[in-house]
């Protein structure tokens, strides 16, 4: 029955409640060796910095992204904004920047972000992502950058991400 749903869904446009229902489970999944970025095609697991995952409506597997930068450059396309459902980023307050763990995915829409900070992601400059505002602020003290919410991130910002050049506070406390 489920298989029929998936196969005929494009033809039935709204006629298959099961596949479209919010009860379709779309949890974050582990990044495994060999996973490739949906945007740039790079093998994801060998690189530092937060990763992303995104489901589209009715999907049982997420797209995976090498970096928050590539996740946003996908999500911010108008057609993807419409089709995207669950989106995840990794909590850099709960994992190591150089080797982000798999159990640290959080809802991307409620996360805090730091743009134009000094640490490199898989594609160079990237957005650091955090579950807690306090962790994001602590990160800024060390690595610079600007604190943002999900809805503050625009294509223009993603296209002009750069390393922080402002004053650092390494010498204080
Ligand atoms: Zn990528
Ligand atoms: Cu890449």
Chain segment 60-76, per-residue pLDDT in tens: 999 999 999 999 999 99
- Whether residue 7 lies inside any domain: the answer is no
Q: Which residues surround ligand 1, an ion (CB under 5 A)?
A: 37, 39-40, 66, 70
pLDDT band at 116 (very low <50, low <70, confident <90, very high): very high
69 C-alpha to ligand 1 centroid (Å): 8
> What percent of the chain has pLDDT above 90?
77
Q: What's the gap in Å between 92 CA and the centre of ligand 2?
A: 19
Give distance in angstroms: CA of 64 to centre of ligand 1. 9
> Is 117 within the bounds of a domain?
yes
11, pLDDT greater than 90: no
Three-class secondary structure of residue 88 per DSSP: strand
Residue 67, domain member (yes or no):
yes
Residue 75 lies in a domain: yes
Mean pLDDT (the chain) is 87
CA of 8 to the centre of ligand 1 (A): 31
Residue 73 belongs to a domain: yes
The answer to whether residue 173 sits within a structural domain is no
Domain, as residue range, for 52: 28-159
- From the CA of 120, which ligand is nearest? 2
Q: Say how many C-beta atoms besides its own lie within 10 A of residue 13's C-beta.
A: 8
When mean pLDDT is compared across 73-77, 90-94, 98-102, 148-152, the lowest value belongs to 98-102
Centre of ligand 1 to C-alpha 47, Å, is 10
pLDDT band at residue 21 using 50, 70 and 90 as cut-offs: low
Q: Does some domain include residue 33?
A: yes
What pLDDT does residue 4 have? 43
Domain count, the chain: 1
Question: How many angstroms is it from 123 CA to the middle of ligand 1?
Answer: 7
**CB-proximal residues (5 Å) to ion ligand 2:** 40, 42, 66, 123
DSSP assignment letter at 14: T
- CB-CB contact of 48 with 128 (8 Å): no
**C-alpha 32 – ligand 1 centre gap (Å):** 15
Residue appearing with tokens 């307050």? 93
Average pLDDT over residues 3-30: 59
Whether 81 is in a domain gets the answer yes
Task: Give the model confidence (pLDDT) of 38-97 as tens digits.
Answer: 999 999 998 999 999 999 999 999 999 999 999 999 999 999 999 999 999 999 999 999
Instruction: Specify burial of residue 24 (Cβ count, 10 A radius: 0-12, 13-18, 19+).
Output: middle
């Amino acid at each position: 029955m489920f298989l029929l749903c998936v196969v005929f869904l494009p033809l039935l446009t709204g006629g298959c409640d099961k596949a479209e229902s919010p009860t379709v489970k779309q949890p974050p999944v582990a990044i495994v060796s060999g996973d490739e970025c949906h945007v740039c095609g790079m093998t994801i697991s060998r690189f530092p910095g937060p990763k992303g995952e995104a489901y589209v409506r009715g999907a049982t597997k997420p797209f995976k992204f090498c970096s928050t930068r590539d996740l946003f450059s996908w999500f911010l396309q108008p057609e993807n904004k419409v089709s995207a459902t669950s989106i995840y980023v990794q909590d850099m307050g709960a994992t190591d920047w150089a080797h982000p763990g798999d159990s640290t995915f959080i809802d991307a829409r409620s996360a805090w972000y730091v743009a134009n900070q000094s640490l490199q992601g898989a594609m160079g400059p990237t957005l650091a992502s955090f579950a807690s505002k306090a962790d994001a602020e602590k990160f800024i003290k060390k690595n610079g950058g600007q604190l943002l919410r999900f809805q503050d991130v625009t294509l223009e910002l993603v296209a002009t991400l750069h390393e922080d050049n402002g004053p650092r506070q390494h010498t204080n406390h």
